[in-house]
Amino acid sequence: MSQLADLRAAVKLPLYMDNHATTRCDPRVLAAMLPYFSEDYGNAASRTHVFGRTTEAAVDKARAQVAAAIGASADREIVFTSGATESDNLAIKGVAHMYRDKGDHLITVATEHKAVLDAHHALEREGFRTTFLQVGSDGLINLEELRAAITDQTILVSVMAVNNEIGVVQPLAEIGKLCKERGVLFFCDAAQAVGKIPVDVEAWQVDLLAFTAHKMYGPKGVGALWVRRKAPRVRLEPLFHGGGHERGLRSGTLAVPLIVAFGEAAEIAVREQPQEAVRLLALRERLLKGLQGNLEHLYVNGSLDHRSPGSLNVSFAYVEGESLLMGISDIAVSSGSACTSASLEPSYVLKALGVGDELAHTSIRFGLGRFTTEAEVDYAVARVTEVVNRLREMSPLWEMVQEGIDLSTVNWTGH
């Protein structure tokens, strides 16, 4: 306990290790956006006066910054939205409705974000058909299964870059090449990717790409959809209709302060990404090795070789998940994805990997980020170790395991 007390003294509690749910707004980003609330407050569509022209110029700069962050050459391909969920819906539903005369078949992955899955389910109710690809125990799709799933009726393949729960990175360039060969549009939800791994829409041969500011130390409430304008020119049916903003694809007065902040956040994230990736990977290794050195029956969910650097999803056998979360309440982490964490059902992503319900219920997602320190990682290791050991000591199952009993051979028939 004295070691834990010493570690506690070295950090400021509570700790934040849920950076895949959202990130703290970087002070540099906050400073960039503040003037657009009270000084440069014009409507960017009001070009007849200096207030509007000033904010229009600021939006144009941010658009270029955001485009550069994903390797896009034409900043006019960026459509600003309220976030990645809206971008996902605009991409998937916009393509489906625009290209319905070419086909009614869509392909996605069982481990996608709920925004993607639910958009496909909504389209199924309109008569579209969706193939949900399964993943291996490492969280990766099988490219041959994707190839076999594409038919002459397929109009869109949707595969996320980095999984929001397990951090696994899909083989995006290979997926893009396959889609291009078959003449099918390729959409990528890159909300967890930009600023964490190198993102290049040309190298990936993506046709549409969604991302958001609040996953890269910008504010909540603003995102973007990149839409390819040539080879091929992608056309979308808009979700909103109104004043024709954003080339008619997303009507509504632009949130200039948020857009300016998005541009600043994107530029900082991409500029610092190479060295930040090295630092985060070292922190993740420190966290994993610390936990593995202190605890047995610990399981990493998803591939460690194909993973974003700050992401770690671990299951602790013979521990009740809710009790574990309550026990480490001074560390902000999540069990499953933040968007569905209110549910007591085990994570659908982990179940898709083949993880059993018991282990899935004990999974913890650690999201390390820009402001995470070594001292915080060391405290997390000690705190999680303490709580897991305490909970296991209270578990009759753990006692049986310690006695060498193989629980898989036990007949649990009740009376």
For residues 315 and 18, what is the distance between their CA atoms, to the nearest angstrom? 16
- Nearest CA among 286, 300, 315, 306 for reference residue 377: 286
Write the pLDDT tens digit of every residue in 221-248: 999 999 999 999 999 998 888 888 887 7
Contact 395, 297 (CB under 8 A): no
Task: Answer yes or no: are the C-beta atoms of 18 and 330 closer than 8 Å.
Answer: no
Sign of CA dihedral 128, 139, 371, 389: positive
What's the CA dihedral at 287, 292, 295, 296 to 10 degrees?
A: 150
Q: Single out the catalytic residue among 25, 179, 188, 339.
A: 339
What is the CA angle 220-226-232, rounded to 5? 165
pTM above 0.75, yes or no: yes
136 CB burial (10 A radius; 0-12, 13-18, 19+): middle
Average pLDDT per run of 10 along the chain, which is 415 residues long? 82 97 98 97 94 95 96 88 98 98 98 98 98 98 98 98 97 98 98 97 98 98 97 93 83 95 98 98 98 96 97 94 92 71 76 92 95 98 96 83 70 58
Write down all domains in the chain, each with its CATH number in brackets: 2-25+273-398 (3.90.1150.10), 27-269 (3.40.640.10)
Among 131, 147, 141, 143, smallest CA distance to 353 is for 141
Q: In the prediction, which pLDDT does 73 show? A: 81
Residue 401's pLDDT is 75
pLDDT at 3 (0 to 100): 82
Tell me the pairing of strands 154-158 and 185-189. Answer: parallel
Assign residue 127 a region (left: φ > 0; alpha: ψ between -120 and 50; beta: otherwise): left
Two tokens at 310? 């700050």
CB 118 within 8 A of CB 132: no
Active site annotation includes 179: no
Q: Token match 């658009």: residue?
A: 63
How far is residue 196's CA from residue 65's CA, in Å, rounded to a whole number? Answer: 16
For residue 76, what pLDDT is reported?
82
Q: Which residues contact 380 (CB under 8 A, 6 or more apart)?
A: 15, 17, 287, 328, 331, 366
CA 257 to each of CA 56, 60, 151, 221: distance values in angstroms, whole numbers, following the listed order: 11, 13, 44, 11
Per-residue pLDDT at 337:
42
* CA 334/CA 166 separation, integer angstroms: 11
Secondary structure, 3-state, the chain: CHHHHHHHHCCCCCEECECCCCCCCCHHHHHHHCHHHHCCCCCCCCCCCHHHHHHHHHHHHHHHHHHHHCCCCCHHHEEEECCHHHHHHHHHHHHHHHCCCCCCEEEEECCCCHHHHHHHHHHHCCCCEEEEECECCCCCECHHHHHHHCCCCEEEEECCCECCCCCEECCHHHHHHHHHHHCCEEEEECCCCECCECCCHHHHCCCEEEEEHHHCCCCCCCEEEEECCCCCCCCCCCCCCCCCCHHHCCCCCCCHHHHHHHHHHHHHHHHHHHHHHHHHHHHHHHHHHHHHHHCCCEEECCCCCCECCCEEEEEECCCCHHHHHHHCCCEECECCCHHHCCCCCCCHHHHHCCCCHHHHHCEEEEECCCCCCHHHHHHHHHHHHHHHHHHHHCCHHHHHHHCCCCHHHCCCCCC
Q: CA-CA distances (angstroms) from residue 93 to 176, 252, 284, 349?
A: 20, 19, 37, 23
